[in-house]
Structures are given as C-alpha cells and as structure tokens.
Amino acid sequence: MNIAVLTTGDELVNGEMSDTNTARIAQLLGAWGYAVRESRAVGDDEAEIEAALHDMTARREVIIGTGGLGPTDDDLTARVAARTFGRRLVLNEEALAQIRRFFEQKNREMHPRNEKQALLPQKSVILPNRLGTAPGFYLRHGNCDLFFLPGVPREMIAMLEEQVLPRLQERSGGSTPLQERILKVFGLSEPKIEELFVQAPLAQGVQLAYGVDFPFVHVKLRASGSEAGEQLDRAELHARKLLEPFVFAVGKETLAANVARMLTDANLTLALAESCTGGLVSQMLTDIPGASRFLERGAVTYSNSAKRDWLQVPDEILRQDGAVSRACARAMARGIRHSAGTDLGLAVTGIAGPDGGTPEKPVGTVFLALSAADQERVQGYRFSGDREQIRRISACMALEWLRRYLAGES
C-alpha cells in the first residue's frame, strides 16, 4: 500500500522541534508490514497544507496527517481539509459530545474555544480520542484514504493503533505483520555485540538491527511469514546465550519495571541512599505503579550531616575516606538498610560534575553498595560523559545490581 505521512506545525519547520511522530508512525506501521513512502512537514500555513494535500492525494493511497487539530487559531487542519476537498465545515455533534465528555470526566470546565475542535469536513468520520480533547477524523477522497490525528504523540499513537490500523488492514485485505523481538542490553557496546553475532550468526530468515537508548543497546530480531514466531523464539534463545548476563529486559519491559516486578514477586523490601544521583533511582522505581509495595523509603543525602543522621555514616569515614569512597558507600547501604529495617539497602555516591573532581577522584567516579542479609557488595566505577549521562548510567547500574541480585546472577 502506498502510504505517506503529513505532519503540520510551525515548530516542525522553524526548527523548534524535531518531528518524532513520523518515526513513530513508520515504526508502528512497519511492524505490521506497511512501509511509509514519504513524509512531509509543513507549517501552520493554509496554502502549504492545501498544496501538500492536493499533491499527496494524487499520488498516495493512504495519507496519515498529524497536528493542527487543537482549539487555537493556528490549528487549521479541519478547515483546510474541507476546502481542499470541496466540503463544507460542519459541527460534528458526536465530536462535540466527546469533547464535552472529556472535560466532564476530568472535572474541568470546557472552554468555548474547544467547540472549534468539533468542526469537521462534511462526510468525514470522527476518530474518537480517549486521551485528549482533539478528536481526529477520517475521510476518503478519490482513491485516497486520509486520516487526521492530533500531534500529541501518545494520543496520536493510541488512535493509530486502535482506529487507523484496523482500517488499513481492511483495505489491504489483512497483512502478516513483521514480527520483532527486542533484547535490551546493558554493559556491552554495539560493536562488541556485532562482533559476537559475526562469530555466531543468526539462522537464515532472521534480520538483526540495533538501536541505542543510552546507556542501553537494543538488539532487534526481525522475521516475517508464518514461521516468524518459531524463528524468533530460536533466535532469541541464541541471542540470550550469546549476550547473557547483559540482557536485562525484552520487548516493552524496562529495567525499572523488571526490578519492581522481581522485588514484588520475591516479597522483598528496599531502601535507597542516593548522593550523586539525587533521587533519580528512587524516581525511576516510583514511576512504576505499586512501588509502595517494596520501596520503604529513600534518602537523598547531599550533606554529610544527612549521611550521619539518617545513615549513621561514621564521622571518621567522612573525614578520612570522604563522602565519595568505597567505605562511605558501604556505610550508606548498611545505614539505610538498618534505619529502614528493609531486606535490601542500596547506596550510590559519586561525583557527577562538572565541578568537584580531583586528580584521585575525577568527575565520573562513582561507588555503588548493596547491603542484604546474605551478602554485601561494594564497587567503584569511573563513568564518562556529562553530568546528566553520569547520573543516568549510575542510576541504571544501581538498578542493574538489584536485577542481578534478584536473578541470583551476582
């Protein structure tokens, strides 16, 4: 099927924002075997939008448009679509009711301007939006199916999956999706992983691709056809053998969510003591619903006095070894575990920079410590990167420690 994407918004052509919607759309459609042939972005400009719609409807079977469905004057999509395809702009009662319902559910008052969002081209079908105020719409012009979705990624993606994809499959008479298995890896570089697969290649019919999500590498295994499932099962086994113990998650799983699940399943409690990560580990774990089941408390101990009061770190360690030291990390992990009375105590202390580095302890020096009833572990690292990267890789490494402990790998 000949599919094109049209994104609208001044921010996309004046450089304020990179267009990520196009990639998300292409990914999602690609996963179902539909290739996007072309994507275009134009500003909130009637003439440009109209010219693009004219040209694209003449050359494509399916157009997916995003953006310009909002309540403000620079949201032009419905009006321009109506004019381009010679239709009147009419108030769609169903759309209006949906917008009203959205505000009611949120106990928010509906601004009169939002009524504008219910003005759709005649004979177009509303595409309900359960996550936001802007309903999308679908219309057919000649041989071209046009789907107009909001620009807000999460709303757009949900509507694409739930409402556009089924219509595409109807039109194309079904499609066998390209299947993908993603292994998320922490601790091996992409070149290193490539090398491993060169030495032990995958079976025929399974393609290999890579993605990076700092500090992680995503290994993507892809296959299509009726055998795809079995092929990917075998390929995943092969890849896991090759990459163990560096695979921390599969598919949509995340490191934090897996650690949360493992802690809950093992019925273990955790307390955190963070210095250089400043609450990042705690924030990542509490992003997961139900974190209260295992996280008893977390301490962000920037000051020495906080390390003394809450973690019982001995003065002498702070004086002699310093707050960024193997001894301090150990004391922090023990201290938080005892003061919280949890099964596990995890501590991070280090120098995230840009200031605070010394010749012996340069920026990037980080110590992790894990305290448990059955074991205690302390290790020093020297991470590179800017403040944000050092904080992020430190927090991820702390979570990885938990994962390996809970998986019995350490």
Structure tokens at 362: 């340069």
Site mask, a copy of itself, residues 80-119, x = CB under 8 A?
--------------------------xxx--x-xx-----
Among 1, 26, 125, 157, binds a copy of itself (CB under 8 A): 26
Q: What DSSP string describes 112-168?
A: GGGGGGGEEETT-EEE--SSSS--EEEEEETTEEEEEE-SSHHHHHHHIIIIIHHHH
Q: Smaller CB distance to a copy of itself: residue 90 or 157? A: 157
Is residue 376 part of the contact set for a copy of itself (CB under 8 A)? no
Is residue 13 part of the contact set for a copy of itself (CB under 8 A)? yes
Is residue 74 part of the contact set for a copy of itself (CB under 8 A)? yes
Q: Pairing state of beta strands 136-141 and 207-213?
A: unpaired
Is residue 60 part of the contact set for a copy of itself (CB under 8 A)? no
Q: Smaller CB distance to a copy of itself: residue 121 or 298? A: 298
185: part of which helix (H) or strand (E)?
strand 179-185
Among 1, 32, 33, 45, binds a copy of itself (CB under 8 A): 45
Q: Smaller CB distance to a copy of itself: residue 41 or 124? A: 41
Structure tokens at 105: 């559910």
Is residue 341 part of the contact set for a copy of itself (CB under 8 A)? yes
Nearest one of 109, 128, 106 to 118, comparing CA atoms: 128
Tokens 């997916």 locate to 64
Among 135, 136, 150, 298, binds a copy of itself (CB under 8 A): 298
- Angle at 251 (CA atoms; ends 246, 254), nearest 5 degrees: 65
What is the nearest approach in angstroms of a copy of itself to the Cβ of residue 1?
14
Among 97, 200, 203, 209, binds a copy of itself (CB under 8 A): 209
Q: Is 314 left (phi over 0), alpha (psi -120 to 50) or beta?
A: beta
Nearest one of 227, 222, 231 to 251, comparing CA atoms: 222
Q: Smaller CB distance to a copy of itself: residue 125 or 300? A: 300
Is residue 72 part of the contact set for a copy of itself (CB under 8 A)? yes
Is residue 297 part of the contact set for a copy of itself (CB under 8 A)? yes
What is the nearest approach in angstroms of a copy of itself to the Cβ of residue 123?
28
Alpha helices in 287-369 (DSSP H): 304-311, 315-320, 326-340
Q: How far apart are CA 268 and CA 343, in angstroms?
A: 6
Please list every residue from 177 through 206 that binds a copy of itself, using CB under 8 A: 189-192, 194-195
Is residue 153 part of the contact set for a copy of itself (CB under 8 A)? no
